[in-house]
């Protein structure tokens, strides 16, 4: 028995591919459903795994005629959300199972005798003839499992077979078989044959079924499906809140009183505003001209029909002349102070009420995305203010219908907080949302991910944020070498070639990165390579291509150009250099161990090192941009990934802040006991150090300084021998000069150990921009 990770590491892996389709499953008793992990859908698979023995045999159908492909997953080097390719699935109609189950032309058995809400479990029907307990019935897109059949009603479990409970109207049709296939979600998993349970299944992706074909011999059903990476495809908001101005009193371009046609005497709490009962309620609206303003209700907490303007032209797009009959939409704006509408309640004991506890308005893109992702998708889904992981805080704060409704437990919060902590000033105070329905993936890609070069991916079933950077010293990095690269035979006499192709691409080469920041900026922040001739060359690699890359940041603050200077410089460098792309077949450890957008190390002989003029790449950093998990029979097959990676080049050096530590005591002559947190903070996210001593690593070469910055060690250096708690043991005591009150610091560049300098530059000569007196390149850019 084995789990997924263990099986990946084995040399004798055995896998099964498993396909589930929402709304398609057999009738199961309550006990059988429980045994099937409360998931009654069919598992169409290539082989039945060992753990299926404890489940009802009817749910496992080894009918896949081939391993589904292709499943290409990709991101761009500029950041964004994952894109998935389409999927073709071939199922054998063994024992005519599919013909019997997928009777989409079957007439309805009965109709609802009442309208039912999403939570109703007692359902009135015109007739119960032909219905039995444990049967599934279908109404619209939802499947329901019957538990009790009464005279004129049935008791059901809602949302059976992984469908979504929805409102159903009286007289809507009730079917005895799945009523349609097109538009249903299909999920593909892979699992070790000898896995312990369904928990060892790894999701490869989700698709929406588009069409159905039959094979020439009519034995196989061929399903064609397009990608749907939940939750990226979810449209938010479900229903924008539209209001009409009945009258405008006063100065229409200034402090007018706007009378809106919203329900009279509506309490602020009905709109889920951030409110108390003692202050007027303030909320954001977007006028049809595009102007965003705040309106305020009356002193009793009612928004009523008479509202006064509070602030105008929040996006600097110009003031409109407000008139009666014009349309307003309620919107949500990420202002970092009240009345900012994106708020979260910090953990570990977050509030679950808008009128109590701490609710912090935020403009940072990570919490704003978390709020959009975890907030309730619709009334009655039970997620409003409750969909959170306590230790991380409550982000599910938008009103129902404005969020994606993604389970907070399915989020890799470590990755989200890591990026948040690394980028505290990446604020988007002009982010406005809510007046039109848009796909979540498109919304966050356009507003946040692409501007910042970050990625939204799903890995191991968890939603993850990746902001690539070079690994820190001591960080775990996936290394890819000849043991991970598949080979193919050429000729017949024990000759092989690695299954990789390498090319140097100029497709996205650009001479400039232009950030167009803010909702209405006329002055883009532009970074042109000519401005950085001293660092990475002012001349173009290809002089004919001067096309800039425009990155629009509509929610960004044009008054903080320094943020975009930092991001622009690194991205200019990456896109300015003609890219080296590595495309090849790698073993499954690359697929499971290197999420898309993340950075690993590639070692491969014979690849030209264009910096050193030698052959061979040794631990060269590569960014994983595309992955296609493949299963293939025969030699060279098994479970592996075809991946595309972007090489950073063999000689990149990143600017980093070097660690420091204030010595409070010297023990045993060579142990510097240092202040715990003078330069670091306890809440730093891994792999950043949470105490000062942890910033140092064994073999680092260090020096000691006085507080005025002068050398206190007579020019001597020592080497770190060990680090434990606040104790840094050194190879010596600087000739007896080490004392309390001094600062431990990295040695000069020329004296440092290669681990301190091979990828990082921590100080440079201000005149010639070279580190120390060496001939090494200066640092190219900094990164968070």
Partner 1 sequence: MSVPNYLIATPIRFAAASYTLRVDVGGTTEDLTVGFTVGRNYWLSGDGQADADGGVGGVGDLLRVVSTALGTHTEITGGYAALNSSFLVELGSLDGGDNITIDWPNSTLDESIFGFADAIVGPTADAVVGTLMPRGLWRPMKAATVDSRDRQPIVGGISAAVSGRTRVSRFATPLREREIEIARLHQSVTLAEYAPATEPYGTLEEAWINSMSLGRPFRLYEDETVRTSSSYGLYRTKDLGEPYDRDPRYNVRWRANLSMRRVV
Residues that bind partner 1 (CB under 8 A): 1-2, 11-14, 482, 487, 490, 494-498, 604-606, 615, 633-635
Which of 535, 603 has the CB closer to partner 1? Answer: 603
651's tokens: 């000689």
Q: Which helix (H) or strand (E) holds 644?
A: strand 638-647
| b/e code 233-262 from CB counts within 10 Å (16+ = b) | bbebbbebbebebebbeeebeeebebbbeb
Distance, CA of 709 to CA of 738 (rounded, Å)? 15
Q: What is the C-alpha separation between 9 and 6, in angstroms, rounded?
A: 5
> CB of 171 within 8 A of CB of 159?
no
In 38-169, which ranges are continuous DSSP H helix?
A: 97-101
Give the helix ranges, DSSP H, for 9-128.
Answer: 30-35, 97-101
Q: What is the distance in angstroms between the CA of the first residue and the CA of the last residue of the chain?
A: 42
For residues 12 and 105, which CB has a smaller minimum distance to partner 1 in the complex?
A: 12
Radius of gyration of the chain (CA): 30
In whole angstroms, give the CA distance from residue 38 to residue 29.
11
Does residue 698 sit in helix, strand or coil? Answer: coil
**Planar angle of CA 599, 602, 605, nearest 5 degrees:** 165
User: Do β-strands 727-730 and 718-724 pair in parallel, antiparallel, or remain unpaired?
Assistant: antiparallel
CA dist 656 and 687 (Å) reads: 14
Determine how many CB atoms are found less than 10 A away from the CB of residue 596.
Answer: 24
By CB atoms closer than 10 A (0-12, 13-18, 19+), residue 375 is buried
Rounded Cα distance between 58 and 41, Å, is 10
Q: 508: burial class by Cβ within 10 Å (0-12, 13-18, 19+)?
A: middle
Least CB distance to partner 1 at residue 479 (A): 15
What does the H/E/C string look like for 513-576?
Answer: EEEEECCCCCCCEEEEHHHHHHHHCCCCCCCCCCCCEEEEECCCCCCCHHHHHHHHHHHHHHHH
């Amino acid at each position: 028995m084995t789990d997924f990770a263990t099986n990946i590491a084995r040399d004798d892996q055995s896998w099964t591919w498993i396909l589930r389709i929402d709304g398609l499953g057999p009738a199961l008793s309550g006990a059988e459903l429980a045994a099937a992990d409360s998931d009654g859908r069919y598992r169409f698979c290539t082989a039945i795994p060992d753990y299926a023995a404890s489940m009802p045999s009817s749910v496992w159908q080894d009918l896949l005629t081939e391993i589904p492909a292709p499943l290409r997953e990709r991101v761009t080097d500029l950041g964004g959300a994952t894109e998935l390719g389409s999927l073709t699935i071939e199922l054998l109609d063994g024992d005519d199972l599919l013909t019997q189950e997928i009777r989409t032309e079957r007439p309805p058995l009965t109709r609802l005798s009442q309208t039912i809400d999403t939570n109703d479990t007692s359902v009135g029907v015109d007739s119960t003839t032909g219905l039995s307990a444990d049967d599934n019935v279908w109404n619209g897109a939802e499947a329901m499992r019957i538990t009790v059949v009464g005279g004129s009603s049935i008791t059901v479990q809602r949302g059976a077979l992984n469908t979504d409970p929805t409102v159903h109207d009286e007289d809507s049709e009730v079917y005895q078989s799945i009523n349609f296939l097109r538009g249903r979600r299909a999920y593909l998993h892979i699992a070790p044959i000898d896995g312990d349970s369904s928990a060892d299944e790894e999701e490869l992706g989700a698709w929406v079924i588009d069409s159905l074909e039959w094979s020439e011999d009519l034995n196989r059903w061929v399903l064609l499906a397009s990608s749907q990476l939940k939750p990226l495809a979810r449209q938010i908001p479900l229903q924008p809140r539209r209001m009409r101005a009945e009258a405008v009193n006063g100065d229409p371009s200034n402090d007018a009183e706007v009378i809106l046609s919203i329900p009279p005497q509506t309490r602020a709490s009905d709109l889920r505003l951030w409110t108390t009962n003692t202050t007027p309620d303030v909320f954001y609206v977007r006028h049809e001209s595009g102007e965003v303003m705040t309106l305020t209700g009356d002193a009793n907490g009612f928004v009523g029909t008479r509202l006064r303007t509070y602030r105008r032209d929040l996006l600097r797009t110009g003031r409109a002349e407000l008139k009666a009959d014009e349309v307003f939409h309620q919107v949500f704006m990420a202002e970092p102070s009240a009345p900012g509408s994106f708020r979260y309640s910090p953990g570990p004991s977050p509030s679950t009420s808008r009128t109590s506890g701490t609710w912090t308005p935020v403009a940072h893109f990570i919490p704003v995305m978390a709020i959009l992702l975890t907030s309730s998708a619709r009334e009655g889904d039970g997620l409003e203010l409750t969909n959170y992981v306590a230790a991380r805080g409550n982000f599910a704060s938008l009103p129902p219908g404005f969020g994606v409704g993604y389970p907070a437990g399915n989020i890799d919060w470590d990755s989200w907080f890591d990026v948040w902590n690394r980028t505290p000033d990446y604020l988007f105070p002009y982010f406005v949302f809510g007046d039109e329905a848009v796909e979540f993936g498109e919304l966050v890609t356009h507003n946040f991910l692409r501007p910042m070069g970050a990625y939204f991916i799903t890995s191991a079933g968890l939603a993850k944020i990746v902001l690539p950077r070079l690994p820190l010293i001591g960080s775990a990095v996936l290394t890819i070498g000849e043991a991970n690269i598949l080979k193919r035979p050429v000729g017949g006499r024990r000759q092989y070639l690695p299954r990789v192709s390498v090319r140097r691409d100029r497709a996205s080469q650009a001479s400039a990165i232009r950030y167009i920041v803010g909702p209405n900026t006329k002055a883009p922040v532009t970074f042109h390579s000519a401005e950085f001739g001293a660092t990475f060359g002012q001349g173009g690699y290809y002089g004919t291509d001067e096309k800039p890359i425009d990155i629009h940041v509509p929610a960004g603050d044009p008054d903080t150009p320094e943020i975009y200077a930092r991001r622009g410089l690194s991205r200019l460098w990456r896109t300015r250099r003609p890219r080296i792309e590595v495309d090849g077949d790698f073993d499954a450890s690359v697929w499971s161990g290197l999420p898309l957008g993340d950075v690993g190390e590639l070692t491969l002989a014979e690849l030209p090192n264009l910096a050193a003029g030698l052959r061979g790449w040794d631990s060269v950093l590569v960014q994983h941009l595309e992955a296609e998990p493949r299963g293939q029979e025969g030699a060279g097959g098994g479970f592996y990934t075809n991946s595309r990676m972007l090489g950073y080049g063999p000689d990149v050096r990143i600017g980093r802040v070097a660690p420091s530590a204030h010595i409070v005591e010297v023990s045993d002559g060579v142990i510097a006991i240092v202040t715990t947190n003078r330069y670091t903070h306890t809440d730093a996210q891994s792999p950043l150090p949470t105490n000062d001593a942890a910033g140092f690593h064994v073999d680092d070469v260090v020096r000691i300084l006085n507080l005025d910055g002068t050398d206190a060690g007579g020019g001597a250096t020592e080497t770190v021998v060990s680090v434990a708690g606040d104790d840094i043991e050194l190879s010596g005591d600087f000739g007896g000069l080490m004392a309390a009150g001094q600062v431990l610091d990295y040695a000069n560049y020329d004296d440092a150990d290669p681990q301190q300098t091979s990828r990082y530059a921590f100080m440079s000569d201000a005149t010639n921009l070279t580190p120390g007196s060496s001939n090494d390149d200066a640092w190219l850019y900094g990164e968070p």
